[in-house]
């Protein structure tokens, strides 16, 4: 579904990605791991057209998307839960959810489309808080809202960048439970998170990024077995 080859990206004169290769199949859950500052968020920003890649090929559903404007890539079916949530603070929960909602334009959606009603049954807390402003929500509620907002675009691929960061253990567990439900419904997901144990439970495959290059990829059993790899590249 998504194939990335030789992706390079820079901020001004400073190059951050030096040839990232990765692939995600339909219905697959894949993680991107690596320590702080290694290029995870930059990879995501490049995939979404929020940063224009300086080299490399990105194909999504068979179409070349590298260099397209962000709104076209979103329309093609990539939904992002960004680092730091970035919900609209002065819009209500309901307004946040419908602001970027989109009917699926693309084929290959495995399940029924997301609607407010279906979303509220997944996140009952958001239904209760429907009329509250974004800035009146707890951190966990904001994160649920960020996930809900991405789902309302009916993405073929959902990308989460540090979706459990800074949340209480119970709220984290709730997010992992929701991601597991989405996975079982056939949603393809690229997940970036510091919690390697949770990732080995939910993801089918993993990529490790180090200084802008993919240095390892493999399945959960291989990641769990390789303690040297985990301490060298992940510090766990
Ligand atoms: N807007 C920016 N301008 C200049 N340099 C940046 C910018 N954003 C990130 N960088 C640099 O690019 C490198 C990669 O950053 P990136 O945010 O992709 O890392 P990351 O793997 O997501 O880290 P973290 O785990 O802390 O989120 C870092 O050296 C960072 O300082
Ligand atoms: Mg990051």
Give the CATH number of the domain where residue 158 resides: 3.40.50.300
Nearest atom in ligand 1 to the alpha carbon of residue 212 is 14
pLDDT for 88 equals: 95
pLDDT digits (tens, 9 = 90+) for 118-140: 999 999 999 999 999 999 999 99
- The Cα 108–Cα 218 span in angstroms is 26
Percentage of the chain beyond pLDDT 90 is 92
Nearest atom in ligand 1 to the alpha carbon of residue 83 is 27
The domain tally of the chain equals 1
CB 219 within 8 A of CB 200: no
pLDDT for 27 equals: 95
The whole-number average pLDDT for the span 214-218 is 97
pLDDT for 106 equals: 61
User: What is the residue range of 163's domain?
Assistant: 2-234
pLDDT digits (tens, 9 = 90+) for 1-12: 999 999 999 999
For a ligand 1 pocket test, name from 11, 52, 85 the mutation site with the most ligand atoms within 8 angstroms of its C-beta: 11
Locate 33 and state its tokens.
């791991």
pLDDT digits (tens, 9 = 90+) for 163-191: 999 999 999 999 999 999 999 999 999 99
What is the CA(43)–ligand 1 centre distance, in A? 10
Locate 203 and state its tokens.
């993801």
* 107 burial type by CB count under 10 A (0-12 exposed, 13-18 middle, 19+ buried): exposed
Buried b (16+ CB within 10 A) or exposed e, 124-135: ebbeebeeebbe
pLDDT for 92 equals: 97
pLDDT digits (tens, 9 = 90+) for 28-81: 999 999 999 999 999 999 999 999 999 999 999 999 999 999 999 999 999 999
């Amino acid at each position: 579904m998504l194939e990335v080859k030789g992706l390079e990206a820079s901020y001004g004169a400073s190059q951050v990605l030096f040839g990232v290769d990765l692939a995600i199949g339909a219905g697959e859950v894949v993680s991107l791991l690596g320590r702080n500052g290694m290029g995870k968020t930059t990879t995501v920003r490049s995939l979404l057209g929020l940063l224009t890649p300086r080299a490399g090929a990105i194909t999504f559903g068979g179409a070349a998307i590298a260099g397209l404007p962000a709104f076209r890539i979103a329309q093609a079916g990539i939904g992002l839960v960004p680092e730091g949530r970035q919900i609209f603070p002065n819009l209500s929960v309901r307004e946040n959810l419908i602001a970027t909602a989109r009917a699926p334009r693309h084929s290959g959606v495995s399940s029924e489309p997301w609607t407010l009603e279906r979303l509220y049954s997944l996140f009952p807390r958001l239904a209760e808080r429907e009329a509250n402003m974004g800035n009146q929500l707890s951190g966990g509620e904001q994160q649920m809202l960020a996930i809900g907002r991405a789902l309302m675009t009916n993405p073929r691929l959902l990308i989460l960048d540090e979706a459990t960061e800074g949340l209480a253990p119970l709220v984290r567990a709730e997010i992992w439970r929701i991601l597991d439900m989405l996975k079982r419904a056939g949603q393809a997901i690229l997940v970036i998170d510091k919690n390697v144990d949770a990732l080995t439970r939910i993801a089918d495959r993993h990529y490790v990024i180090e200084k802008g290059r993919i240095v390892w990829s493999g399945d959960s059993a291989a990641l769990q077995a390789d303690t040297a790899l985990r301490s060298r590249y992940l510090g766990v």
